[in-house]
A = this chain, B = another copy of it.
Amino acid sequence: MATVNMVEYDAAIPAVRQVYDDIMTTRKTDWINNFWKALAVQPELLQRTWHDVKSVMAPGVLDPLTKEMIYIAVSVTNGCRYCINSHTAAARTKGMTDEMLSELMAVVGMANHTNALADGFQVKVDEAFQHGGREP
């Protein structure tokens, strides 16, 4: 169904296999999901994207599960079917329960709702909210 031929491990050139190996090691798994097999059509694209995703999703001041939920929030807002499915699975692996998923969706739904209201009424940004400060 993809618009490019997906590259399987056995047919991959060394530069691609190296990324696949790193994905499997990092994720402690023995398979590669379709997303990476599609990017592999262009090894540089695969390398850069994996390098960035690995770096961004690593534990930082935000924990990995929080990051996955933020990823889902964006993917839902964009309606990206592949990403919603893959990151929901990833979040579940990291401990997201049905109750957490429901609260996540409640916030995502409400945010999309009030985004529309704020844009629809063209509400002016309060002076107090500008410049990135705290609420008064």
Contacts and interface: CB of A to CB of B under 8 A. Distances in A.
Interface of A: 1-5, 27, 29, 31, 33-35, 38-39, 41-42, 45, 48-49, 52-53, 55-57, 60-62, 66-67, 69-90, 92-93, 97-126, 128-136
Which are the 7 A-B pairs with shortest beta-carbon distances? A42-B102, A3-B132, A74-B111, A113-B113, A82-B118, A80-B115, A76-B120
Contacts of A41: 98, 101-102, 121
Contacts of A101: 3-4, 41
This chain: how many copies in the complex? 6
Contacts of A120: 3, 72, 76, 84, 104-105, 108-109
